[in-house]
């Protein structure tokens, strides 16, 4: 695992899941983390409806909170959208942008992702920028080219290790139970690290940026994946919804 000067991050993306009753899982996770000191940061990214109540729930804990998306404008006639500044008011410290489900379901381009990441920075939030290849792109041997293109197009000016995290999520591994081999993960993360140098003022700063792995991360494979060179944590989907499973992944850093 590369030293970035920042702790690794294990972030849970609840996606379109969770109601007020789900906050019981947050309480359970807080209890499990009490008295232990994992060598990582922990974050939960709930749906928008839970940002304020979850923020209150996490106020006295070491667990950070993020959001799952934002609009690139600060305000305006954008029905159903939410601005990064609105997210910041909830106590969130980060926002996921460019998740493959947004890119696919909402046809978000690299340009849109770049604008959203810039909005996150404008609001003082960390942008967790997601990139990753489809199964067809991997089979065609285009994984590294795809990652290069997405990094070049999705990262705005002013990115640095303090305001930007990259999440590598091979699209074919999300929610499928499939995962790339540790060697494949290592290759992708090393390539991302190299490509970041052109976007964050050189190799020294690129070495400090946290690069998360995401895609069917589970308690039974987390330790192996988190030990891969240049992997600085995980972006976890379904397994973050239950305190037991999420803590099992966090335990890779105990």
What is the structure's pLDDT at 179? 87
Could you tell me the residue range of the domain that residue 98 belongs to? 9-253
Q: Which CATH number covers residue 163? A: 3.20.20.70
What is the structure's pLDDT at 3? 55
pLDDT in tens, 230-244: 999 999 999 999 999
What is the structure's pLDDT at 178? 87
Q: How confident is the model at residue 134 (pLDDT cuts 50, 70, 90)?
A: very high
pLDDT in tens, 152-163: 999 999 999 999
Q: Quick check: is 3 in a domain? A: no
Catalytic residue among 25, 101, 133, 169: 169
Please tell me the distance from the alpha carbon of residue 165 to that of residue 30, in angstroms, as a whole number.
24
Q: Quick check: is 168 in a domain? A: yes
Q: Quick check: is 1 in a domain? A: no
> Chain-wide mean pLDDT for the chain?
96
Catalytic residue among 25, 71, 99, 195: 99
- The answer to whether 92 touches 65, Cβ cutoff 8 Å, is yes
Please tell me the distance from the alpha carbon of residue 190 to that of residue 184, in angstroms, as a whole number.
10
Please tell me the distance from the alpha carbon of residue 33 to that of residue 212, in angstroms, as a whole number.
21
Q: Quick check: is 209 in a domain? A: yes
pLDDT in tens, 36-73: 999 999 999 999 999 999 999 999 999 999 999 999 99
Nearest CA to 19 out of 41, 47, 60 is that of: 47
Q: Quick check: is 2 in a domain? A: no
What is the structure's pLDDT at 1? 45
The whole-number average pLDDT for the span 5-18 is: 97
Q: Quick check: is 4 in a domain? A: no
Catalytic residue list contains 191: no
Domain count for the chain? 1
């Amino acid at each position: 695992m590369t030293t970035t000067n920042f702790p690794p991050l294990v972030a849970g993306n609840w996606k379109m899941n969770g109601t007020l009753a789900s906050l019981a899982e947050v309480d359970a996770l807080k209890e499990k983390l009490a008295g232990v000191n994992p060598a990582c940061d922990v974050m939960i990214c709930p749906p928008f409806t839970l940002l304020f109540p979850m923020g209150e729930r996490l106020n006295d804990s070491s667990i950070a909170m993020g959001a799952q998306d934002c609009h690139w404008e600060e305000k305006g006639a954008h029905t159903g959208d939410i601005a990064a500044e609105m997210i910041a008011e909830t106590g969130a410290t980060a926002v996921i942008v460019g998740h493959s489900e947004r890119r696919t379901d909402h046809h978000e381009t690299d340009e849109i992702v770049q604008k959203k990441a810039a909005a996150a920075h404008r609001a003082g939030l960390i942008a967790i920028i997601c990139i990753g290849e489809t199964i067809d792109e991997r089979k065609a041997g285009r994984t590294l080219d795809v990652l290069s293109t997405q990094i070049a197009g999705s990262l705005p000016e002013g990115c640095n290790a303090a305001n930007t995290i990259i999440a590598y999520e091979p699209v074919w591994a999300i929610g499928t139970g499939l995962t790339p081999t540790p060697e494949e993960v290592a290759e992708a993360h090393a390539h991302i690290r190299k490509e970041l140098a052109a976007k964050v003022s050189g190799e020294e700063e690129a070495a400090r940026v946290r690069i998360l792995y995401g895609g069917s991360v589970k308690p039974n494979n987390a330790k192996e994946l988190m030990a891969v060179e240049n992997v600085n944590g995980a972006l976890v989907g379904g397994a973050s919804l239950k305190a037991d499973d999420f803590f099992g992944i966090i335990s890779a850093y105990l």
